[in-house]
Amino acid sequence: MNFFREKFQASPVYARVAPFVIFVGLIALNGLFGKSGPYWVYVFRTAIGAWLIWQMRPFVPEMRWSFSIEAVAVGVAVFLIWVGLDPFLPKNHLLFTPTPEDAWNPFARYGAGSSMAWFFIAVHLFGSTFIVPPLEEVFWRSFLYRYFVRTNFESLPLNLFHPTSFIVTSLLFGLEHYEWAQGLLCGMAFQWLVINKKRLGDAIVAHAITNCLLGLWVIGRGDWHFW
């Protein structure tokens, strides 16, 4: 604990990059524990992600949730775009291998309506809503967007608009997802929100709303491929 706190305090870059890299890197464990591996790994990742947020929070002042009408509107709009355009937009086959529609379907693995299945679903919904948004927004919208402009990124205001960084960061964020085109539009929408509101918190809230609505859609409609 002291090691991470000391590193976070000593380096603004480390405080914003290391938690994101650790959280994403843990995905590599998915294939190591059989068919149940991805479910338990997500539980582990969520716990580690929550711990990382707790450790980095004192040293990342912009990581504060901020509610606004714009944040809600963008969050809902991105969800509608993500689901509505999915059948019509290309997927990221360059970095992702297509998986079966029910590759992440706890009901198929543990039985329809089983308590174990619902446990994994609840953890996934919690993690995607409350853990993923702050980790990703701090890395993409606060750190990387400004770092592309100036390595001393903390000296730049959050409302800075830099066309090249705006496009490149949004594109890289899109390529992080299997649904890369939706991810690109999503990245642009969240970055616009940061610039418009002059703070990161609205983008965190919008991201959380999008992920929560998408999770509820997955559960209600059985579109497990979104997870």
Say if 29 falls within a structural domain.
no
Q: In the structure encoding, which two tokens stand for residue 166, read together?
A: 């705006």
The pLDDT assigned to 212 comes to 98
Say if 50 falls within a structural domain.
no
Say if 24 falls within a structural domain.
no
Q: Evaluate whether 170 touches 184 at the Cβ level (below 8 Å).
A: yes
Alpha helices in 64-200 (DSSP H): 69-84, 106-110, 115-126, 132-137, 145-147, 163-175, 180-197
pLDDT for 186 beyond 70: yes
Taking residues 53-77, what's their average pLDDT? Answer: 97
Say if 165 falls within a structural domain.
yes
The pLDDT assigned to 196 comes to 98
Q: What is the extent of the structural domain holding 97?
A: 64-226
Considering only the C-alpha atoms of the chain, give the largest distance between any 2 of them, rounded to a whole number of Å.
53
pLDDT exceeding 90 applies to what percent of the chain?
89
Could you give the number of structural domains in the chain? 1
pLDDT for 102 beyond 90: no
Say if 97 falls within a structural domain.
yes
pTM of the model: 0.95
Say if 149 falls within a structural domain.
yes
Q: In the structure encoding, which two tokens stand for residue 191, read together?
A: 């970055």
pLDDT averaged over the chain?
95
> pLDDT tens across 124-176, in order?
999 999 999 999 999 999 999 999 999 999 999 999 999 999 999 999 999 99
Alpha helices in 148-197 (DSSP H): 163-175, 180-197
pLDDT exceeding 70 applies to what percent of the chain?
98
Say if 142 falls within a structural domain.
yes
Rounded to whole angstroms, the Cα distance separating 79 from 101 reads 19
Q: Evaluate whether 36 touches 109 at the Cβ level (below 8 Å).
A: yes
**pLDDT-derived band of residue 97, with 50, 70 and 90 as boundaries?**
confident
Say if 168 falls within a structural domain.
yes
Q: In the structure encoding, which two tokens stand for residue 134, read together?
A: 């702050």
